[in-house]
Chains A and B, each alone.
Chain A
Amino acid sequence: MYDVVVIGAGVIGASIFRELTKYNLKVVVLEKEIDVAMGTSRANSAIIHAGYDPEEGTLMAKYNVWGSELFEELCKDLSVPYKKNGSLVLGFNDEDMITLEALYKNGNKNGVKGLALLSREETIKKEPNLSEKVRGALFAPTGAIVGPFEYTIALIENGVMNGGEARTSSEVIAIDKKEDVFTLTLKDKTKLECSYVINAAGVYADKVHNMICEETYRIMPRRGQYYVMDKSQGDIAAHTLFQCPSKKGKGVLVTPTVHGNLLVGPNSEDIEDKEDLSVTNEGLDAIKDAAKRTTDKINYRETIRSFSGLRALSDREDFIIEEDKKVKGFIDAAGMKSPGLSAAPAIALGVVDLLQKKGLKACLKATFNPKREQIRFMELPQEEKQALIKKDHRYGRIICRCENVTEGEIVDSIKRPVGATTVDAVKRRCRPGMGRCQGGFCGPRVQEILARELHLELQDIVLDRDHAYILTGKTK
């Protein structure tokens, strides 16, 4: 019998899960996919919004500003790449300049620190590669960039280190409740019992909700496509560059990533299929066109990948963070469109507070360790590199030539709690295959290391999920 079951190991579920492991509770997080951070948390803009966008008084406003303030220390504790690079919302015409002023005021009401309206000259001084048409900008020094899947994985790992349980390949197919006890049935027919259920199932939150509750909301995914550019383009922007927001969202942004690439996107398309992560010519072309307003310095021949992510939009305006009115103990953390990632740490605090208000008895554990370490070899000082290779020679062998990832780091990513079992899971943890050759050189070697460490055959290793097999058998 668990105290709390969290459904969904995206950034929201992971944040709540880790927060709960601070207490003397029996907690499990369930993920339907083969790995954690497999949905929206692995495919988004990778930015921490300052919080000037959401309307004052909304949950989005409250949790965004609060969450963004918590991020830096969390990333330090969890050894996750994070950089407070600041953001600029650019204005191109009179209407935009009015919008910027409104955002400035709204941001101040929301409690965003350090906002400033900049003239064209001040803006260009910060970002010399901006287009001629830029008239001015709203500067938010607390805007930041982060590794979103690294962050989600780190939260799960840290939660497990602190006594929580994480189960992958564990899709919930039914939820029942008798008296005060929930029974969750998994796809493999396993049954779990618990007192509280947290629904953080992302684009499938409505489906999970409706397993036991009456329908109160719908999730309608809104797809966003992106370009990832080579590091050769990474210096084009230092700040995250937004255009003025519209009803469709925050528009196309141009931002450096924590790893030195440049990210350009997203567009915005309402789609039916919750698994449709395809990219389209029309979508990518539209992004290119829109980004041209921001800067014409991007060389798209340096694109190394394009991808899509799904915003888990609901038919309500705001985040849905509440206990179901009829099914007591069932708590939704759903409808996490932007700024869901930015808000995640604060949402976790909010949800735990809500649980306690709804009767969960939770005492803080003295043993909770907020720290989680991960070696990123290339970032170590020279002497430490040398010492580490001496201790474990696998740190002296580079497997990924583009990102300079060592065998030691890859083995570590497999051996860690909730370790990698697929080629992409390794990639999300320590980056082999993220670079310009996209795993052309290192893919087969990562696969070999996985097979060796997991005692499997080479052809048993999949790309990213069940049935995504890479090899079909031995040669003649």
Chain B
Amino acid sequence: MTYDLVVVGGGPAGLAAAYEAFNNGIESILIIERDMELGGILNQCIHNGFGLHTFKEELTGPEYAERFIDKITDTSIEVKLDTMVLDIKEKTIYAMNPIDGYMEIESKAIILAMGCRERTRGAIYVPGDRPAGVFTAGAAQRYINIEGYMVGKEVVILGSGDIGLIMARRMTLEGAKVKAVIELMPYSNGLNRNIVQCLEDYDIPLYLSHTVTQIIGKTRLEKIVVSQVDDNKKPIKGTEKTFTCDTLLLSVGLIPENELSKQAGLQIDTRTNGLVVNETMQTSNEGIFACGNVLHVHDLVDFVTQEAQTAGKYAASYIKDEYKKGTSVKVKNGKGITYTVPQNMNTISKESIRVFMRVSTPSYHQKIVVNCGGKEIASFKKKTLLPAEMQSIVLTKEHLAAIEGDITIYLEEGK
């Protein structure tokens, strides 16, 4: 099998990237999706709030996905569902499904859009027993929204990430009693609108600077012990509270799913756990592009779509042999910034470049400063900066013209 472009992953990133490549003149495109349907994780996100930027309206997850699925249906883009990519070597993709069996697929370019997975209990060392009733929030969401089954009656949620907050509301609407949301950090890790709409509207208490210190239950979860933590995030003795509950949902972070990328020998950024890309979303290997949560975890799907469109467009130019290589400079993160995507930039870029980043702690009235060789080449005023909310800045052609070497992005007080 041979294609011009193979897109690994049929979630929002893969769909938008494939469609954009098609719009840029590429006809031979294959999307490989491991699930039985396109749409990825959006399919289980039945709440609304998707697409405010992209479509200027509030859609549910499946509706947002449907917009793109409809678009690609009328194109020459091929889709293989229920298909797992096992390995990628150079530009050869090894995949498998029940109908075609084991396949070797050659492609001129590849876009990686595998998304992310949830951090588990093992990764955060919650001590205690290992009963049934401890779920990652996303797994619980799948049971409830896709399978139509409830996972419990009395619930505590560890982690105030967006999925955890959304699930607090969802479980409540399904008749469960959500007793508390526990957050290790002194601030929430979810979007503010979700704190209001999912917790405050339902009187669900949020315990900041707290964590679960004991899980109790031999068969099904019976109770959990929660403790306050000190500045070093260590539990404080004597602050233990016990909650009787049959369910603990974990919303403790997402990890870009890059096992395939690692097999393919692509460079990974230890700050994001995602792939290293330049402004065209090209990875460390020529002709392999990436977009979406496989790069860094997004809080809004609209930004995933934007990134995917960039990847699709430049993958198309690569296939058409129009991709221009320039001198690459590094984008480094300075004070207050935990990472940036892209991590590298080509100085010959003729277009403006959007740089995504996250801040390390909540702060107010700041400037995001872009510095090159001691010279400030751009700065952007920000009223509120929260770790939960991804930031982005746009470097214009004028800004880019001033870049002569590696750039650093950092925060500065700026009223």
A366 CB to closest chain B CB, in angstroms? 41
The number of inter-chain residue pairs (CB within 8 angstroms) is 132
Q: How many residues of B contact A (CB 8 A)?
A: 48
Number of A residues, CB within 8 Å of B? 55
Most buried by B among A306, A386, A402, A440: A440
Verify B118–A440 contact, CB threshold 8 A. yes
| A279 CB contacts on chain B under 8 angstroms | 125, 127-128
Closest-CB distance, A448 to chain B (whole angstroms) = 8
Given contacts A279-B128, A396-B96, A458-B147, contact A386 B175 (CB under 8 A): no
Interface residues of A in 462-476 (CB under 8 A from B): 462-476
Q: Does A281 contact B (CB under 8 A)?
A: yes
Interchain CA distance A393-B98 in the complex, whole Å: 5
Per the bound structure, the CA–CA distance linking A469 and B131 in Å amounts to 9
CA distance A457 to B4 in the complex (A): 45
In the assembled complex, A280 has its CB within 8 A of some CB on chain B: yes
Is the pair B122, A438 in contact by a Cβ cutoff of 8 Å? yes
Are A464 and B101 closer than 8 Å at their CB atoms?
no
Majority SS of interface residues in chain A?
mixed
Residues of A within 8 A of B100 (CB): 396
Contact of A382 with B102 in the complex, beta carbons under 8 Å: yes
B121 at the interface (CB under 8 A from A): yes
Query: Contact: B84 with A401, CB < 8 Å?
Result: yes
Q: Give chain B residues whose Cβ lies under 8 Å from the Cβ of A398.
A: 34, 84, 86, 96
Asked whether, in the complex, the Cβ of B84 is within 8 Å of the Cβ of A470, the reply is no
- Tell me, in angstroms, the Cα distance from A453 to B262 when the chains sit together: 36
User: Quick check: B127 and A278 within 8 Å, CB to CB?
Assistant: yes
**8 A Cβ contacts from B140-162 to A:** 142-144, 147-153
Which segment, of A63-71, A75-83, A297-305, A354-362, faces chain B?
Answer: A297-305
Contact of A471 among B117, B131, B151 (CB under 8 A): B151
The answer to whether B139 and A304 touch across the interface, beta carbons within 8 angstroms, is no
* Of the residues A385, A393, A467, contact of B220 by C-beta under 8 Å: A467
B96: chain A residues at CB < 8 Å are: 385, 389, 396, 398
CB-contacts of B254-268 with A (<8 A): 259, 262
CB contacts (< 8 Å) of A301 on chain B: these are 123
List CB contacts (< 8 Å) of A376-408 with chain B.
382, 385-386, 389-390, 393-398, 401-402, 404
Residue B218 is within 8 A (CB to CB) of chain A in the complex = yes
A281 touches B125 (CB 8 A): yes
Query: Residue A443 at the B interface, CB < 8 A?
Result: yes
Which of A278, A390, A462 makes the CB contact (< 8 A) with B128?
Answer: A278
Report how far A440 CA is from B121 CA in the complex, Å.
Answer: 11
Query: A361 CB to closest chain B CB, in angstroms?
Result: 43
CB <8 Å contact, A277 and B130: yes
Residues of B within 8 A of A475 (CB): 144, 148-150, 174
Which residue from A232, A307, A397, A470 sits with its C-beta under 8 Å from B132?
A: A470
Q: How far is the CB of A257 from chain B (nearest CB, A)?
A: 15
Question: Please, which residue of chain B has its CB at the minimum distance from the CB of A406?
Answer: B96
Q: Is the CB of B127 within 8 A of A397?
A: no
In contact, B101 and A390 (Cβ under 8 angstroms): yes
Contact A303 B122 (CB under 8 A): yes
- Residue from the list A232, A306, A393, A462 in contact with B122, Cβ < 8 A: A306
Indicate whether A284 reaches chain B with its CB closer than 8 angstroms. Answer: yes
Is B99 close to A, CB under 8 A? yes
B122/A389 in contact, CB under 8 A? no
B82 sits at the interface (CB 8 A): yes
Contact mask A84-105 → B, CB, 8 Å, 1/0?
Answer: 0000000000000000000000
- Judged by a CB distance under 8 angstroms, whether A58 is at the interface is no
CB of A184, distance to nearest CB on chain B (Å): 25
Query: B2 near A: Cβ within 8 Å?
Result: no
Chain A to chain B: the 6 pairs with minimum beta-carbon distance, closest first: A396-B98, A463-B132, A393-B98, A305-B122, A398-B84, A467-B219
Can you offer 8 A-B residue contacts whose CB atoms are under 8 A? A278-B127, A281-B213, A393-B98, A394-B98, A397-B82, A398-B84, A468-B219, A472-B152
